[in-house]
Amino acid sequence: MSSSQQKIPTNWEEREALRVKGQFWTPDWVADAMISYPVTGGFTDIFDPAIGAGAFFLAAKRIAHQTGVQLRLSGTESDPDMLIEAKKWGLTDGDLSEVQIRDFVLDTPAISLSTAVANPPYIRHHRLSAEAKGQLKALCRKITGFTIDGRAGLHVYFLLTALSMLRDDGRLAFIMPADTVEGVFAKKLWDWITRHYCLDAVVSFAPEATPFPGVDTNALIFFIRKSQPKDTFYWTRCLVPHPRELKDWVWLGFKTGSSTTLDVQSRVLEEALATGLSRPTNNALNSSHTLFTYATIMRGVATGSNDFFFLTQQQVRDLDIPSIFLQSSLGRTRDVPGDTITHQTIADAEKAGRPTFLLSLDGRSLETFPLSIQSYLAKGVGLGLPLLALIKQRKPWYKMEKRRAPSFLFAYLGRRNARFIRNEAGIIPLTSFLCVYPRHNDVEYIEALWRVLSHPETVRNLARVGKSYGSGAIKVEPRALEMLPLPETVLQETGLDRHNQLELAF
């Protein structure tokens, strides 16, 4: 059986089981390229700290067969069942004789490594116990001298541990989720790595070339050597799945140019660290023309319980809620099929039985509300709503956040591309959207800003500020969206740059 044939279950529970253990297998075309890195450096000992079903061992055997170089395989794995799985995938007892069943991070073998090749378990921080988190924190301090934000997942500690075990000139190839370079902890982590190790190359994947189809993860491969850091490195993007050139590119020391399947760039480390290692070169990085110059951003309303506060037309009628306590609202990006919200968009959502009314109460005392609202709120108390995490912080608990209707919305995550939306119906969005408030309210300004926001070049720039997921989805937080570079040519074309940028309209 080939390791590229892992079927990702569509069933939620089975997927969860895989996620808890971080068990996703590396496809052959990626494993072959990664194994080539230590082999081209003349190393013959291959160590995989998380062998799983043995994708890298199998790749090593293929490369050994092709090159005639004898490779010795060793590694660790926490799940003993994986050895049985690995044999099903074609490995022998002899291949697996140097695999230890142990926790690589919390019970690290006392050895040094000439190579480390891994697809470490992508186990996010909220799946780690408080005790494990404490141990990981201590481990990071021991290796680097500092701690990193607690939102780093287990894979980050795999990387740190393996780096700390490398011998001089040793080589490491890790495939990791993009949060490794995009998370809040990333700057500190990569400043440290690139000051102590030599980053040779980074590989990214276009959505259609993802090594893990069906998994919501944007993967990156890092090729790192324990030697003098350099100011430049190679960065490439795989444009199609299974490019033969990927292995050849590694084999030739990353030096070949771009082709129809690989977009290769030689990059300055400083620029790449500032831009983010998951993103292509950003020449507009120091542009003073960011969205913040022309608009401010806020997230949509967080109700704390959409089931209770976000109502359908039928519920509004049944509960007899007066319209002065309601605001027209949308909560799902799917309810906005196009790029403009009109009254028809709301009517269509209502027809589909979707909630479109936000129960927007102020902080007055309970008895001063009409009886229909009093009894609905009593029902909320019965359901325990005032004790819910977010609602608990509000005083009184039913007082809803206030927003002005924004001129534009931004749908910041979803299978469909992140996009700006025109809010012609004046709705108040919930948290699936961000609110974009132009700095001026005159029609001409708003029209020009819309032309800038909907321009393909502006939309392309979202990848420069957002966090990337598999299948091309991008998540952009409010502060990051304010940093969105607006292309100078587009600003000139639309005339937006001529407006007085500092005057606030509100």
Contact positions vs ligand SAM (CB under 6 A): 21-26, 48-53, 55-56, 76-79, 82, 103-105, 119, 121
Residue with smaller CB distance to ligand SAM, 103 or 208: 103
Residue with smaller CB distance to ligand SAM, 5 or 66: 5
**Dihedral through CA 104, CA 110, CA 113, CA 117, nearest 10?**
-10
Residue with smaller CB distance to ligand SAM, 50 or 418: 50
Residue in the block written with tokens 């809040």: 184
Rounded least distance, CB 78 to ligand SAM, Å: 4
Residue with smaller CB distance to ligand SAM, 215 or 484: 215
Residue with smaller CB distance to ligand SAM, 79 or 457: 79
Q: Which one, of 212, 300, 290, lies nearest residue 464 by Cα?
A: 290
Rounded least distance, CB 154 to ligand SAM, Å: 6
Residue with smaller CB distance to ligand SAM, 56 or 205: 56
Per-position DSSP letters for 355-405, written without gaps between them: --EEE-B-S--GGGS-HHHHHHHHHHHHTTGGGSHHHHTSSSTTBPP--PP
Rounded least distance, CB 6 to ligand SAM, Å: 8
- The first and second tokens of residue 289, run together, are 């023309």
CA distance 479 to 433: 14
Rounded least distance, CB 157 to ligand SAM, Å: 9
45-48 vs 72-77, strand pairing mode: parallel
Per-position DSSP letters for 411-429, written without gaps between them: E-SSSSPPEEEEETT--EE
Rounded least distance, CB 49 to ligand SAM, Å: 6
C-beta of residue 342 within 8 angstroms of C-beta of residue 380: no
> What is the distance, to the nearest Å, from the Cα of residue 496 to the centroid of all Cα atoms in its chain?
32
Residue with smaller CB distance to ligand SAM, 86 or 421: 86
Residue nearest ligand SAM (C-beta atom): 52
Rounded least distance, CB 141 to ligand SAM, Å: 19
- The first and second tokens of residue 132, run together, are 């494990």
Rounded least distance, CB 85 to ligand SAM, Å: 8
C-beta of residue 84 within 8 angstroms of C-beta of residue 76: no
